[in-house]
Structure 1
Amino acid sequence: MARNTARREELAAQATDYALNHGLIGLSLRPLAAEIGTSDRMLLYHFASKDDLVATMLRISNDRSVQAVRALPRSRSVRAAVLDLWRVSTSEESDLCHRMYVEAAALGLLGREPYVSVVREANEHWVGALADHLVAAGCTRTRVERAVTLLDAAFMGLQLDLPLDPDESKRKRVVSDLADAIATIAQS
């Protein structure tokens, strides 16, 4: 049984890499399986269904984003923490992970099971990592929920607009303004 668990984890990681590079939209088990060196039947042997596989890929993708946040060194201030979090959130790997989340939403997966539970859990881990980083930088626990709600919503909106707005200087100004706003919330 342990071998099957290890194989399932290996297939899940490979499938996640595939989906991060090819997307969830139009995902078909046969091309996925061929790319990772197995068959669609073996995928269904290790995963109860395509939904189970996709839910697992969403978990792994989110875990990677959370790990990137948790790997950040402590920021010197709340304002700097926002800028550091933006930098890690827009890194190539984290950006791909966020795009997978957006694709899942676009496909309507996030409103039905098993995705509702997976995304709820993933969001709790993501927001927890953001909150912990802000608290370590000086935000109080009483203010962090408000700060993280604004931060998470703003990051999602900005990341959705990234491919549409090539003006890097405008985006830097907006992220700087966001950092100022979060720092104000943390101090008030």
Structure 2
Amino acid sequence: MSEEPTIASARKVELLEAAYRHSLAHGLVDLSLRPLAAAIGSSPRVLMFLFGNKDGLLRELLARARVDELAMLDHIREPSNTTAIGLAAAVERVWAWLAADEHRQLLKLWAEAYARSLIEPDGVWDGFAATTVSDWLAVLAACQPPSERNSEEGARRRTLALAVLRGALLDLLATADYDRVTAAVHYQLALFQHRRAAVPRP
């Protein structure tokens, strides 16, 4: 039995990880196979063999970025997998992760792919932005108590929470003004909690 498929698969994973690290540092939009191959110790011919073409590689890189995104979202849910922690606590945990310096490269890559998905909705970028919205809304929904989660009000609240997080993230990426943006997120959290307390219970 030939070991070539296994070797090729291992080499593909190795090069994908190297290409992903390179993309985190340099972005995806201007990616070109020849300079990328030189930067990661490969050749355009090998990349073409393993990934088909540039679009094939881009799809794999977007999928790889989503793996990191989903891992983060799972981490948000992990501390309380049996009890809903509430939307405010979920937003606070998500923001703490988003605002950490060590995640800045990944989030710049996310923002680049999100914007590209809106500008070029067909082809390799197809669905990236919409899928991201669905992923994040699902996590925020899981953090809501069932009575809130399954209501129209709950859907509006988590949509607003996502809008706050996404807007704050883009602001932070643009300005690096952590104190101002974090203060705004915490202000919105206080409004969430105040509004929830003000809603009359049946």
Task: State the TM bucket, normalised to the shorter chain.
Answer: 0.7 to 0.9
Q: Please list, as runs of the form range in 1=range in 2, the aligned pairs for 1:26-175 lying within 5 A after superposition.
A: 26-72=30-76, 73-74=79-80, 77-107=86-116, 110-132=120-142, 134-135=143-144, 140-142=149-151, 143-165=153-175, 167-175=177-185
- Asked if structure 1 preserves the Cα contact closer than 8 Å seen for 2:33 and 2:54, the reply is yes
2:104/2:173 contact within 8 Å kept: no
Count of residues paired in the alignment: 187
**Structure 1 runs (4+) greater than 6 angstroms displaced:** none
| Aligned equivalents of 1:120, 1:4: Cα separation in 2 | 33
Q: TM-score, normalised by structure 2?
A: 0.75
Asked if the contact 1:59–1:118 (Cα under 8 Å) also holds between the matched residues in 2, the reply is no
Deviation at 1:8, TM superposition (A): 2.4
Contact 1:24 1:100 (C-alpha < 8 Å) held by counterparts:
yes
Structure 1 unmatched ranges of 5 or more: none
Show structure 2 runs of 5+ residues with no match.
none
**1:105–1:125 Cα change, 3 Å:** closer
TM-score (norm 1): 0.79
Cα RMSD of the aligned pairs, angstroms, is 3.0
Separation in structure 2 between the aligned mates of residue 179 and residue 26 of structure 1, nearest angstrom = 38
> Contact 2:34–2:43 (CA<8 Å) still a contact in 1?
yes
Contact 2:34 / 2:44 at 8 angstroms: preserved in 1?
Answer: yes
Tell me: higher relative CO, structure 1 or 2? Use CA pairs within 8 A at least 6 residues apart. Answer: 1
